[in-house]
Amino acid sequence: MSKHLIVITGGPGTGKTTLINALLDKGFNCFPEISREITQKAKEQGISQLFLKNPVLFSQLILEGRKKQYEEALHATNEIVFLDRGIPDVLAYMNYIGDSYPTVFDKACKEHRYESVFILPPWEAIYSSDDHRYENFEQAKLIYNHLNETYQDFGYQPIEVPQDTVANRILYILDKISI
């Protein structure tokens, strides 16, 4: 049985977590976004925005977490596994802020490959910010562009998921992966 690791990505506030939770409810094996966990741990240590204060450290922590998720996904019992963001997201965010990063980031993207990448476009009607999301909607659109470009740079053809109900978005994704 081969594993089909499927990334759901997009800028902030596009409905990724909502889709992942709905896929979980349907019995799919899903891995959540890990940046909130890392951000919360930093806040507990008195750092309100680790990504803004030390983007390379934050990105290294995210990279290690996503590599761990990737390995865990390979050993999951389900044939199809969905991930809320993939390793190339780390590079896309670093490119967005214009910061350099170690070559191990590129290497990780080349060594950890996904079956498919679904990207959610900016959607102002559902966008909201919270304690963990500091970007405004205009920034979310720029991040979307960086995500799309970064995945393409690594040989992926991200499939844009139409703005629609959660149920219809799931049907769209499942149809594209032939389930």
Does 40 score more than 50 pLDDT? yes
Does 8 score more than 70 pLDDT? yes
Q: Length of the chain in residues, anyone?
A: 179
pLDDT-based confidence at 12, cuts 50/70/90? confident
CATH of the domain at 117: 3.40.50.300
Sheet with strand 29-31: strands edge to edge? 29-31, 80-84, 4-10, 116-120, 159-160
Nearest 5°: the CA angle 127, 58, 160 is: 40
Least confident of 5-19, 50-64, 67-81: 50-64
Does 172 score more than 70 pLDDT? yes
Three-class SS state of 177:
coil
Domain count, the chain: 1
- Residues 22 and 2: their CA atoms lie apart, in Å, by 24
Quick one: the chain helix, strand, coil %, rounded to 5?
Answer: 50, 15, 35
Higher pLDDT, 97 or 81: 81
Three-class SS state of 126:
coil
**Which residues, listed in sequence order, are joined to residue 5 by a DSSP beta bridge?**
81
| pLDDT for the residue 133 | 56
In sequence order, what are the residues at sequence separation of 6 or more whose Cβ sits closer than 8 angstroms to the Cβ of residue 157? Answer: 117
**For residue 122, what are the domain limits?**
4-176
Q: Report yes or no: 86 and 66 within 8 Å, Cβ to Cβ.
A: yes
Does 153 score more than 60 pLDDT? yes
Does 39 score more than 80 pLDDT? no
Q: Give the pLDDT mean for 104-121.
A: 96
Q: Average per-residue pLDDT in the chain?
A: 89
Which element (helix H / strand E) includes 68? helix 55-74
Which element (helix H / strand E) includes 31? strand 29-31
pTM for the predicted model, two decimal places:
0.90
Please identify which residue in the block is written with the tokens 């960086």: 146
| pLDDT for the residue 136 | 75
Q: Give the pLDDT mean for 7-16.
A: 92
pLDDT in tens, 76-86: 999 999 999 99
Q: Give the pLDDT mean for 12-34.
A: 93
| pLDDT for the residue 46 | 74
